[in-house]
Chains A and B, each alone.
Chain A
């Protein structure tokens, strides 16, 4: 699957973003089907419809920069460069999973690429990302962090504390609010006061911008500009990315609480359609896109087959990695 030679750099990048977004999309479709079928246990929060945000923001980061994710974390992990096959093993609870099968969907993490983890507690990734930066500063490292948070999570106290804290200590943290309009089954606007999140962030002194979160080119442009400023010492910034959760809150959630008209209005805004249109506009032929899709689909299918065939972790791993002092013993 070699794209036509000598593409302009801009189009090469567009294709690379497209591949990342496809990887997220097919990964999510695959694990949702597996969750519905009962092959994957526990909650799975699909990132379908929001792929452009993780892809665009992570593209603006270095490998050693940090990402702090949310409960809806697969996209952030893939965006930052985590191996989808290792993530598949994790969701299947198998040996070789990112966390040895002990975390599952809500804890996918890869510290080798600065991916601090999805998180089962809303808002905690945000405060932890500030610490990762404050610690790194003490060690003389010039890294930055992107801290993702949902529109619902914007109402948690620690997130408000974090806005104040990041500004007080001028930490190079990019807050990224992924506004998919919903907080589980609740329309977020119905439980959120004030003129909006950019105004809220500005109230703490953070430069804040709103972007179309379904447009990966726009997201990356905005994130790059902000990350450059962060690295130059400008202090924390806030990116409000508007998007829409195409699926349910969980794999099994049919989201009957959403008005039909709303869905009909939102569907054409699918970020994958958007980047495909952009690529076509830049001369990429339909069969090239088709080939990209087939290749990614095949690699995710291969990852799932491998995960289903993989071993479960050894029983003794229940007792591994708890603590050194006073570690509980197997069989004790």
Chain B
């Protein structure tokens, strides 16, 4: 075990995979000098400019090239800088990468990873702070992953690169410098498997990405009040680990989904609906979700704090769920 940052963990993952498989390469803006989160630092020195490929600011073409290169038999890691700019290549993601295998009757596949750092970036305002996971989850053909720790970022990125499906890989913009334990030995995590980040008997908090750390913080606060919250970090958002979530709800009888993204039409709604449908009998209280209000993300700090789903807000929502009764 060693300590490293979320960014360093992803460098380790990419280095291991590029050494292991000559078909793996990366393309995107400014990655030769390390990328905006430092998440490619040093890789061009080892692998050269062809495999760590600096591109023009041409998001449509970055993504189109990634799809074409995947169809030709390579395994590209496509860096789109932030999810907000990935919107410039939504067409190539949704109309090509996600469905090329299907439309062409299975004669080709697009084994690619689209890295598009997601979520808020303190002080960067509305065009640099969005969370887009619900849009990708909604698209048939895509796998959607959102790592919440350095260890997971290393293991999930490796699994994403090895996957034969197109994977939307949502690192969190504010987490590059967060550090944590990462095992020395190589490890991958099966896509589609959640992690119980904390056990508890009173309610289940389902969450992902950076919000997982807020949920754990909230759970520590609640423990001091005698409420034991179980925190489930989904890690993969599509396909999400229903078995894990439902098993947890069957133990606790209560569900809260905590997400950073806009609550309305968000992924939390899917989880609440699914659990209600399939584990209604286990619920002792109405399931709930907490997410951002349906506003663009404002710039000024106190305004940004209002829309950020943080630990105190999650704790407050959890108290309501813990106190609620059925019927």
Contact = CB atoms under 8 A, between A and B. Distances in A.
B21 to A, nearest CB: 11
A129 B68 CA distance: 6
A222 B74 CA distance: 31
Given A135-B76, A139-B74, A325 B64 contact: no
A102 interface: yes
Interface residues of B, number: 49
A164 B55 CA distance: 11
Interface stretch (A14-22, A71-79, A120-128, A277-285): A120-128
Contact of B104 (A107, A131, A158, A165): A107
Given A127-B64, A323-B143, A103 B74 contact: no
Contact of A139 (B23, B104, B141): B23
B69 A165 contact: no
Contacts of B141: 322-323
Contacts of A323: 101, 140-143, 165-166
B58 interface: yes
A97 interface: yes
B89 to A, nearest CB: 9
A158 B64 contact: yes
A53 B299 CA distance: 54
A141 to B, nearest CB: 8
Contacts of A268: none
B70 A131 contact: yes
Interface stretch (B91-99, B175-183, B284-292, B304-312): B91-99
B65 A130 contact: yes
A259 interface: no
Contacts of A130: 61, 64-65, 68
Contact of A101 (B73, B76, B105, B191): B105
A134 B65 CA distance: 8
18 contacts: A100-B106, A102-B103, A111-B104, A121-B96, A126-B64, A127-B64, A127-B65, A128-B67, A128-B96, A131-B66, A131-B68, A132-B71, A133-B68, A133-B72, A137-B50, A138-B51, A139-B73, A323-B166
